[in-house]
Amino acid sequence: MDEKLVDVYDEVLRRNPGETEFHQAVHEVLDSLGPVVAKHPHYADAAVIRRLCEPERQIIFRVPWVDDAGRIQLNRGFRVEFNSALGPYKGGLRFHPSVNLGIVKFLGYEQIFKNSLSGMPIGGGKGGSDFDPKGRSEGEVMRFCQAFMTELYRHIGEYTDVPAGDIGVGGREIGYLFGQYKRITNRYESGVLTGKGLAWGGSRVRTEATGYGTVFFVQEILKTRGESLDGKRVVVSGSGNVATYAIAKVQELGGTVVACSDSGGYVVDERGIDLATVQEIKEERRARISTYLEHHPHAQYVENHSLWQVPCDIALPCATQNELNGTDAAALIAHGCSVVAEGANMPCTPEAVRAFAEAGVTFAPGKAANAGGVATSALEMQQNASRDSWTFEHTEERLAGIMRGIHDRCLSTADEYGSPGNYVAGANIAGFTQVADAMVALGVI
Ligand code: NDP
């Protein structure tokens, strides 16, 4: 890290003790900004980087609700409104027992640069709760969402803060959240949440956007080498929203996905993962990926091991943060993997990212590769604002164009700042400079 930035990082460590994921995310961005502060000293004069590392607002609240047995349950809710220099705070809500303030802050911080990179007029934020939807009934999920929104509603709005889904929050949860917002405020404010159902203000392609966008990004990487996805062997971690539609798009473009996973283990199907089975298990039955073998007995299920041991040309980590470590990276490199693109947020540890760089594996960071989800959320906001509804083809074409634009901006920025081919540097610098310029223009606020 450039010596001019060490003090900023030390201040982040001092102010946010124990928030290891947040420290990791900040470190990764600051590591890239050395050439920027050298070229543009006015950013330091305006304390832009220090201000960027401090959220504009952090909200923590109690979420009491009643389970099916009549017992009172208690969870904690979070919303971190990190930066609004480019537009209203925008970022998902995560419901998972691991959620804490440090995780929400890392996600919110990443979101600032991702949203900037998308070219859309949106700031960065993130939220969630330590509520675990697994094993909960429909009624319990609904009552939890209603209790969560009963506090959150006062902090959000189409011009203020626009949440969406993330781990544990899909179309069902967005429905319950929107319903409660509408009930409390007596306003049909479509632009307050994205990821809505198509019948009530949602955008076509939003469900598919993150996974599709990640694969569009990989397509652009391969194009620079004169290659395509046709015939490529791909491993995708996770089997949720991002993983499902990454698998779908890889298959559509001629690749074969041979493995996917959930938090219990992974499935290998050398004939190619059957997406309809995965969707039936995950979207309809909300069951474990191990049950894939009931439909495809020739496949293999491996419990509690890293799926990165499965040989592939392309790896797409699409589950959660720090799921691919240095050992996993070594296995991928040994098996000849040449592209790793993050569908999830920060799934690769710093050791893994370093190993890829040293081995010449092309690495696309999440803030670039998975920006298609939030970009399509911004398209949903556009449609809501104009009371319009676009076709699937038009929306997908817009998404593909946005991903091409992000890809090209990463490469041209990396070139400009002396790190040709380095997508991490390109994404961090391009994302940063746009927000930084806006912050300078808006004054000390
Ligand atoms: P889902 O809840 O739909 O799916 C998450 C998947 O990851 C599930 O298969 C889940 O398995 C697995 N997973 C979750 N936590 C863990 C864990 N601790 N260890 C191992 N596996 C785990 O979430 P999404 O697909 O929406 O999100 C996946 C990633 O993509 C996250 O990092 C998210 O921040 C990121 N992302 C999502 C976007 C979106 O539009 N949804 C946009 C941009 C990024 P199990 O069911 O067993 O828990």
pLDDT of residue 194: 98
1-54+422-445 shares its CATH topology with 56-189: no
**Nearest alpha carbon, ligand 1 atom 4:** 240
CATH number at 56-189: 3.40.50.10860
1-54+422-445 is a CATH 1.10.285.10 domain: yes
Rounded distance between C-alpha atoms, residue 57 and residue 81, angstroms: 5
Q: What is the mean pLDDT of the chain?
A: 97
Q: Are strands 124-129 and 57-66 parallel, antiparallel or unpaired?
A: unpaired
pLDDT of residue 162: 98
User: In the chain, what percentage of residues exceed pLDDT 90?
Assistant: 98
Residue with more model confidence, 46 or 371:
371
To test the ligand 1 pocket, which listed residue (241, 245, 305, 321) has its Cβ within 8 A of the most ligand atoms?
241
Edge-to-edge order in the sheet of strand 300-303: 300-303, 265-268, 256-262, 233-236, 314-316, 339-341, 362-364
pLDDT of residue 255: 98
Please check the confidence at residue 218 and state whether its pLDDT lies above 90.
yes
Would you give the DSSP letter of residue 281? I
**Nearest alpha carbon, ligand 1 atom 44:** 344
Q: Which atom of ligand 1 is nearest to the CA of 168?
A: 2
pLDDT band at 76, cuts 50/70/90? very high
Q: Which atom of ligand 1 is nearest to the CA of 244?
A: 25
**Beta carbon of 194 within 6 Å of any ligand 1 atom:** no
Q: Average pLDDT of 219-226?
A: 98
pLDDT of residue 304: 87
Cα 134–Cα 161–Cα 54 angle in degrees, nearest 5: 95
Please check the confidence at residue 71 and state whether its pLDDT lies above 90.
yes
Taking residue 115's Cβ as centre, other Cβ atoms within 10 Å add up to: 31
The domain locations on the chain are 1-54+422-445, 56-189, 209-360
**Nearest alpha carbon, ligand 1 atom 35:** 344
- Specify the pTM: 0.98
Please check the confidence at residue 58 and state whether its pLDDT lies above 90.
yes
Please check the confidence at residue 272 and state whether its pLDDT lies above 90.
yes
Rounded distance between C-alpha atoms, residue 240 and residue 278, angstroms: 9
pLDDT of residue 45: 86
DSSP character string of 370-388: TTHHHHHHHHHHHHHHTT-
Q: Average pLDDT of 347-358?
A: 98
Highest CATH level, class, for 209-360: alpha beta
Taking residue 11's Cβ as centre, other Cβ atoms within 10 Å add up to: 13
Would you give the DSSP letter of residue 69? T
CA distances from 75 to 21, 57, 63, 69, 130 (A): 21, 20, 5, 17, 6
**Beta carbon of 115 within 6 Å of any ligand 1 atom:** no
- Residues with catalytic roles: 126
pLDDT of residue 388: 96
Query: b vs e for 200-227, b when ≥16 Cβ sit within 10 Å of the residue's Cβ?
Result: ebbbbbbbbbbbbbbbbbbbbbbeeeee
> Are the C-beta atoms of residues 365 and 316 closer than 8 Å to each other?
no
